[in-house]
Amino acid sequence: MPICCSTLGRRLSRNLGSVFVLLLLAACGGSGDGTATPETTGDRATSDSLAIQVIPQASALETAETDRQVLRRTSERLAGLEVPEGPRQELWATHRQAMDSLWATIEERHLDPMGGWASTALASVQQHPEAVFYPFGGPDFPSVEQFFPTSSTYVLVGLEPPGTLPDLAAFSDEVLSSELERLRDGLSNLADKGYFVARHMVLDFGQAQRLEGFVPVLYIFLARAGFEPTSVRFLDLSDSGELRYLEGLTDTQPYAVEMLFVPRDAPQAAPRRLYYFSQDLSDQGLAAKPGFEAFVRRLGAFDVYMKSAMYLPHEPEFGRLEALMLDGRSVLQDDSGVPWHRFDAERWQVDLFGVYTKTLANYRQYFQADMAAAYAQREEPSPLPFAIGYNSRISGSCLLWARRKDML
């Protein structure tokens, strides 16, 4: 799972080679602001409070919107949902068979139990389809969409650049086959553990790959969830959090990507929005990019989701992120998120699910005795029918759902 550059570098350098750490730290940059020119919002506005501008400096590859049919065809082929006739039919059929098997495992182990549980346990928040903010989520759209299936806007954050829009026709058969196999290997961690593994992210989705970044992965996730992308655009943010869509070509990686999507069986539905930001969420990183905090707060009454976050919100250099999360309407997280003692009973109504008795040995310093006591004092346990987070590997999964009392 992508996390803060400096802290991750310190933690992993003891166990990983210096080459990997350098690769990871190199993935932390974002785009500059540039000079903005106003543009009428029209259907580009994400809400009344999200102003939009376009700057003539741009993304890694694309300028304006890509043809909708091309977007749908690309996403369905990458997801293994379409096998086109022609010389590559056997290649795509092999990919489809492998993806069907992989996705069946992901659904059976993780997504179906998550969605079934959330439809009851999180029913009240699902009645208010607004925005959800997923720090350290990387490209993990599948799980956040299960918990918040009615949200109109999803904001995912990682360190890796968004990547580029894939041109599958430009690859040789050998390269395409290799790239599709690599994508499947990257997704196997999600099938096995339910989360992406930090040390694999650069190798699986880094800039050294032909299908680079998270855009191809997000194509797969949208298509497998029953959606089709209708627009894909790269963007930057002004210091006040305004969206600035990018035009033209540059050698630098884009800072963020916006994907508009609709249900495949309801193509005329109002588009929903998925954002992925390449953003360092440490205090230093947020200070260097003030527009990001402003953008999140412009979302209005947003919900927060977090899991498998390496306990970074417990560290003092993530105070700004913690404050931003606690400005949300609700927080759904495992024990690696905001520390238990920060949820003041006067302000928050908190429900505890699953079990919490210990942490992995690597994270023993983050064990929360007060949270364990709160779990022990519950009158009736609330089990989780799925594995989530690090603790699922040793003692069982836990989730905390905190809702602000002034927003119930």
Q: What would the mean pLDDT of 385-407 be, rounded to a whole number?
A: 92
CB 317, CB 284: distance < 8 Å: yes
Instruction: Determine which of 174-188, 224-238, 297-311 has the lowest per-residue pLDDT on average.
Output: 174-188
User: What pLDDT shows up at residue 393?
Assistant: 80
Question: HEC states along 39-84?
Answer: CCCHHHCCCCCCCEEEECCCCCCCCCCCCHHHHHHHHHHHCCCCCC
Binned at pLDDT 50, 70 and 90, residue 13 comes out as very low
Binned at pLDDT 50, 70 and 90, residue 125 comes out as confident
User: What pLDDT shows up at residue 15?
Assistant: 36
Cα 358 from Cα 364, distance rounded (Å): 8
- pLDDT of 16 higher than 60: no
Q: Kindly list the domain boundaries of the chain, sorted by start residue.
A: 5-301
- Torsion over CA: 233, 234, 238, 239 (sign): positive
User: What pLDDT shows up at residue 10?
Assistant: 46
User: What pLDDT shows up at residue 80?
Assistant: 96
User: What pLDDT shows up at residue 45?
Assistant: 36
User: What pLDDT shows up at residue 260?
Assistant: 97
Binned at pLDDT 50, 70 and 90, residue 114 comes out as very high
What does the mean pLDDT of the chain come to? Answer: 82
Instruction: Determine which of 53-67, 167-181, 348-362 has the lowest per-residue pLDDT on average.
Output: 53-67
Model confidence pLDDT, tens digit, residues 360-382:
999 999 999 999 999 999 988 89
Binned at pLDDT 50, 70 and 90, residue 161 comes out as confident
User: What pLDDT shows up at residue 41?
Assistant: 33
Q: How far is CA 207 from CA 53, 159, 178, 274, 321, in A?
A: 28, 12, 15, 21, 27
Model confidence pLDDT, tens digit, residues 282-311:
999 999 999 999 999 999 999 999 999 999
User: What pLDDT shows up at residue 126?
Assistant: 80
Q: Which residue has the higher pLDDT, 137 or 19?
A: 137
User: What pLDDT shows up at residue 332?
Assistant: 98
Cα 99 from Cα 78, distance rounded (Å): 9
Q: What would the mean pLDDT of 166-173 be, rounded to a whole number?
A: 89
Binned at pLDDT 50, 70 and 90, residue 58 comes out as very low
- pLDDT of 263 higher than 60: yes
Q: Which residue has the higher pLDDT, 33 or 268?
A: 268
Binned at pLDDT 50, 70 and 90, residue 205 comes out as low
- pLDDT of 253 higher than 60: yes
Closest listed residue to residue 202, CA positions, set 40, 55, 12, 405 = 12
CB 305, CB 27: distance < 8 Å: no
